[in-house]
Amino acid sequence: MDRTITPTLVLRITLAAVFFMHGIPSIFTGAVNNFGNLLNGAGFAPIGLTLAWMIKLSHVACAVLLILNRYIRVATLITIPILVAGIIMIHAAEGWFVVGAGRNGVEFNILLISALVYLAIINKKGIVA
C-alpha cells in the first residue's frame, strides 16, 4: 500500500471531514428532523423526514467512501445532485455568500460540487490517488 500524501488524498480527507460534519451532528442533535419538516413544507410530504435521513446518511456514506478511497464515482454521483438540489431549494435565494456579505448562499456548495467533480473525473476503477 502506497502511503504517499498526495494533493488528492488531502482533498478526499478534507471533503470527508466536511461531509461527516454536515451529517453526524444533525443526526445526533435531532436537527435532521427539522430538515425533514422543511422538506415536508417544500412539497415532499409525507416523505420529507425519510428523505432528510437518506440525505444525511448519504453524506456520512460519502465521507466513509472518500476515506476508504472506494466507489468514488458512486459517492460523487449521489452527492452532487443532493448539493445541486440544496442550491435550488435553499441556498440560491440567499445569494452567493455563505458569510460576510450574505448568509447561507451558494458559494460553499459550488466549491464542494467542483471538488467532487474533480474526483469523479480523475477516478480510475473506483480508486483515486
| pLDDT tens digit sequence for 80-105 | 999 999 999 999 999 999 988 888 89
| pTM, entire model | 0.89
What sign has the CA pseudo-torsion 84, 88, 91, 97?
positive
Cα radius of gyration rounded to whole Å, the chain: 15
9/122 Cα distance (integer angstroms): 12
Cα distance between residue 7 and residue 30, in whole Å? 35
CA atoms within 13 A on the CB side of 69: 16
State how far the alpha carbon of 87 is from the alpha carbons of 47, 84, 111, in Å. Answer: 20, 5, 12
pLDDT for 5-53, tens place per residue? 889 999 999 999 999 999 999 999 999 999 999 999 999 999 999 999 9
- Cα separation, 72 vs 121, whole angstroms: 10
